[in-house]
């Protein structure tokens, strides 16, 4: 029950769809990426994705989170697989998947890695919001042989989203070799981009977690004090309108809420976290116990209320947003996760 002394912490209800795990980057901490010749490499088929979207709609989800390995089209082996399902480029496939999600009543949120201005412009009308983790402005060993993790490349993509007025998610990956000074610089950069374009709705403060079989499988993850300090810095540096998000399946959120985190991101009743499959989503009832007695959980859409009020969405998704959002811009009818 919400009172005048309660703090509101938000979340969205989503389906997590990893369209392909093939990627041009070779991040030292990633257990998701596969090369096209790997037996575990895949492109999800349209029928597979349609079935997940149907289950998501039946479970009351509002968001279809589409994730990818970055720029897999650069590999000939990947392109052969893509052409086998009827597409010459990933962007065209993604556009059709967004249309499929909208038709089923789910708002797309695409996170396909670094994109050009033209690519973002094509995706904008079919997305409620989009995202790209900055991770860090530092040049790190963890990002060796990762052309898409060059900070300037990621910054340009985030800035282009601002020029196009796309409600946007970015964030820091904490504990991959960066220093506190690097984190401060990264947060200051994000703040500057927001002040210039007004498009960054949330910043994720995500802790590095160990993945067996990766180059960093023995690298120590950040301690809770580092995470507290980073959330504290984020709240000090970022404008008040920018929400700080923490992933509740990777870290217990209660203490981070005490220091300024007010969002828990997407929580799915249907799909796992395919990037961190060893960490299950907590059920909403579990979260209510973890976040604190004076915290009220509230469901939102993938587009934050202020951007609904400002009209930062297209006519293609206007009817769906009006159907899902209440007068205050949050989810019209709140339901519990099963």
Distance (Å) of CA 297 to CA 1, 82, 214, 308: 10, 40, 35, 20
- Report yes or no on 31 lying in a domain: yes
Q: How far apart are CA 241 and CA 139, in angstroms?
A: 29
- Report yes or no on 90 lying in a domain: yes
**Mean pLDDT, range 200-221, rounded to an integer:** 96
CB atoms within 10 A of CB 200: 26
Q: What is the pLDDT of residues 1-51, one digit of tens each?
A: 455 557 899 999 999 999 999 999 999 999 999 998 899 999 999 999 999
- Report yes or no on 183 lying in a domain: yes
- Report yes or no on 338 lying in a domain: no
- Report yes or no on 333 lying in a domain: no
> What is the DSSP-derived secondary structure letter of residue 283?
P
Instruction: Indicate the pLDDT class of residue 234, thresholds 50, 70 and 90.
Output: very high
Tell me how long the chain is.
338
Q: What is the pLDDT of residue 91?
A: 97
DSSP, collapsed to helix, strand or coil, labels residue 275 as coil
Q: 140 is in which domain, residue-wise?
A: 7-318
- Report yes or no on 114 lying in a domain: yes
Q: Which CATH number does the domain housing residue 17 bear?
A: 3.20.20.70
- Report yes or no on 330 lying in a domain: no
Q: What is the pLDDT of residues 126-170, one digit of tens each?
A: 999 999 999 999 999 999 999 999 999 999 999 999 999 999 999
Q: How far apart are CA 78 and CA 35, in angstroms?
A: 9
Q: What is the pLDDT of residue 281?
A: 86
Calculate helix-pair angle for 224-237, 180-197, nearest 10 degrees. 30
- Report yes or no on 326 lying in a domain: no
Q: Which of 9, 303, 33, 285 is nearest to 165 (CA)?
A: 303
Q: Which helix (H) or strand (E) covers residue 157, if one does?
A: helix 151-163
Q: How far apart are CA 305 and CA 332, in angstroms?
A: 12
Count of structural domains, the chain: 1
Q: Which of 209, 246, 241 is nearest to 11 (CA)?
A: 246
């Amino acid at each position: 029950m919400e009172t005048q002394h309660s703090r509101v912490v938000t979340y969205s209800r989503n389906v997590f769809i990893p369209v392909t795990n093939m990627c041009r980057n070779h991040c030292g901490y990633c257990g998701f990426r596969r090369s096209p010749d790997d037996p575990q490499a895949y492109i999800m088929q349209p029928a597979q994705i349609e079935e997940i979207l149907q289950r998501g709609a039946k479970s009351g989800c509002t968001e279809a989170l589409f994730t990818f390995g970055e720029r897999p089209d650069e590999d000939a082996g990947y392109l052969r697989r893509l052409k086998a399902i009827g597409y010459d480029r990933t962007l065209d496939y993604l556009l059709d998947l967004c249309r499929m999600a909208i038709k089923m009543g789910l708002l797309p949120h695409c996170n396909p890695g670094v994109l050009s201005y033209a690519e973002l412009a094509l995706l904008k009308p079919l997305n409620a919001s989009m995202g790209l983790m900055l991770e860090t402005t530092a040049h790190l060993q963890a990002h060796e042989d990762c052309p898409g993790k060059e900070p300037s490349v990621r910054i340009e993509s985030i800035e282009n989203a601002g020029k196009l007025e796309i409600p946007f998610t970015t964030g820091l990956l904490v504990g991959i070799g960066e220093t506190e000074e690097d984190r401060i610089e990264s947060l200051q950069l994000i703040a500057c981009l927001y002040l210039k374009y007004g498009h960054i709705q949330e910043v994720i403060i995500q802790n590095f977690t160990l993945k067996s079989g990766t180059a960093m499988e023995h690298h120590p993850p950040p301690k809770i004090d580092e995470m507290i300090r980073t959330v504290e810095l984020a709240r000090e540096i970022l404008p008040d309108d920018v929400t700080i998000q923490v992933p509740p399946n990777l870290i217990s959120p209660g203490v981070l809420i005490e220091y300024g985190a007010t969002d828990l991101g997407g929580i799915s009743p249907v799909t796992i976290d395919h990037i961190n499959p060893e960490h299950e989503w907590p059920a909403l009832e579990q979260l209510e116990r973890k976040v604190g007695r004076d915290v009220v959980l509230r469901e939102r859409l993938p587009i934050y209320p202020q951007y609904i009020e400002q009209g930062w969405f297209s006519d293609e998704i206007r009817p769906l947003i009006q159907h899902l959002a209440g007068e205050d811009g949050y989810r019209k009818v709140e339901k519990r996760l099963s």
